[in-house]
Amino acid sequence: MQEVIKKIQQPNDTKIVLCVLDGLGGLPVGGSTELEAANTPNMDKLARGGATGHHTPVAVGITPGSGAAHLGLFGYDPLKYEIGRGVLEALGLGLHLSPNDLAIRGNFATVKYEGDTPIVTDRRAGRIPTDENVRIVSKISKEIKEIDGVKINMTSGIEHRSAIVFTFPEAIPEGGDAIHDTDPQLEGKSPIPPSGNNPEADKVASVVKKFVNRVAEILKDEERANYLLMRGFAVRPRLATFSKAYGLDAACIATYPMYRGVSKLVGMEVLEVEDYSIKSEIDTLKQDFGKHDFFYFHVKKTDSYGEDGNFDAKVRVIEEFDSFVPDILELGPDVIVVTGDHSTPSAMKAHSWHPVPILISSPYARGGGAESFGESECLKGELGTFRAVDLMTLILSHAGRLQKYGA
């Protein structure tokens, strides 16, 4: 679709704001989802006058990771472009990646030992404070700088997250990053030993295994973060930039490294935000609104509280965002989109495959379908249910940025 869009791009001076409340979709608890239970008068008004529906992040019945889900929202088919979480985390933390680099997302975790066997009791180490993360990463980095000629660069992320880059003497061959995650995804299970899907990946995995074992020894006396789980082994891919694909000068407003990373990967300018609050993100939007024509605005905590199973806290974040919607509208965007990248029902404490509610507010929306912004009401709108990879085409059309196709 990007090739078609390139041919019919129609530049203008319209402004677009894509608001992504991470993990927005939910399941009913006591009769309502988190979005339906939230008091959201501003988004409800937009939904009544706008186009509503649901989007499927990857494909029907497929539970997406955040990276794949965001690629879909940005119009890069996640079934075609499979990008490891490590690349997104590393780019989001400001690391440079060359063809010699293997990037990995690290999660500090808590384990107990049964003999010599570690058993995961908390995959996120209680979401340790970021300053504790910094201390532990420094501790590891002092002890491990190189393994078998491979340089190791570990960088702290937020809470329990980190990025690790292995720099090999030569470019990593195709398929060399096909390494299984070590995260078992469930408490009560042992971490999965690093292993590759092919001989080239096995060579790389042998270095990773030595690193994992050395880190476990270094962390064994830590109270909470006494183990490191590793996910998203990947080398940096090459994608068409957002500006070339859509003719847009795009900016990212996000606080967490992964989302800043996926934005960098597609060539968006990543704007600085003072702290992790929605208010600070709004302040950045106001400050830079005149400098770009497309803004990706990300809210993280809806997903975090969904994963924690905290229904009420997820509701509060949705309500907090809604209170800032008038600030966004005051800037005068021509198109405002509100959705999530995927569903994270607090009832499941995990990402899920459920379609995600979406609203598009523009002068060209028919409106009159949904009475409010929620899963059930959005189904009454004009958009129906569509794949997220088609969202950018809809956004560009609502912004008057696409010419007629064909004779």
**DSSP assignment letter at 272:** P
Residue 186: how many other CB atoms lie within 10 Å: 9
For the chain, residues classed under CATH 3.40.720.10 are 2-82+239-398
Three-state DSSP class for 336? Answer: strand
Three-state DSSP class for 12? Answer: coil
* String of DSSP letters for 201-237: HHHHHHHHHHHHHHHHHHHTT-SS--EEEEEEEE---
* pLDDT at position 258: 83
- φ, ψ (nearest 5 deg) of residue 365: -80, 140
* pLDDT at position 225: 92
89-234 folds as Alpha-Beta Plaits (3.30.70)
* pLDDT at position 311: 98
* pLDDT at position 264: 87
* pLDDT at position 35: 98
Among residues 148, 166, 161, 300, the alpha carbon closest in space to that of 229 is found at 161
Please give the Cα distance from 180 to 185 (Å, whole number). Answer: 12
Three-state DSSP class for 7? Answer: helix
Please give the Cα distance from 93 to 164 (Å, whole number). Answer: 10
For the chain, residues classed under CATH 3.30.70 are 89-234
Angle at 81 between CA 304 and CA 97, to 5 degrees: 80
* pLDDT at position 135: 94
Please give the Cα distance from 355 to 336 (Å, whole number). Answer: 20
CATH number of 2-82+239-398: 3.40.720.10
- Bridge partners, 356 (sequence order): 55
| Tens of pLDDT, residue by residue, the chain (407 residues) | 888 898 899 999 999 999 999 999 999 999 999 999 999 999 999 999 999 999 999 999 999 998 899 999 999 999 988 787 888 888 888 888 888 999 999 999 999 999 889 999 999 988 989 999 999 999 999 999 999 999 999 999 888 999 999 999 999 888 888 999 999 988 999 999 988 889 889 888 999 999 999 999 999 989 889 999 999 898 988 888 999 999 999 999 999 888 998 898 899 999 999 999 999 999 999 999 999 999 999 999 999 999 999 999 999 999 999 999 999 999 999 999 999 999 999 999 999 999 999 999 999 999 989 999 999 999 999 999 999 999 999 999 999 999 999 87
Residue 371: how many other CB atoms lie within 10 Å: 13
Enumerate residues 6+ apart whose C-beta is below 8 A from 129.
159
Classify strands 294-299 and 250-253 as parallel, antiparallel or unpaired. Answer: parallel
Q: How far apart are the first and last CA of the chain?
A: 18
Enumerate residues 6+ apart whose C-beta is below 8 A from 162.
89, 105, 106, 107, 108, 133, 137, 154, 155, 156, 228
Residue with tokens 């809470």: 159
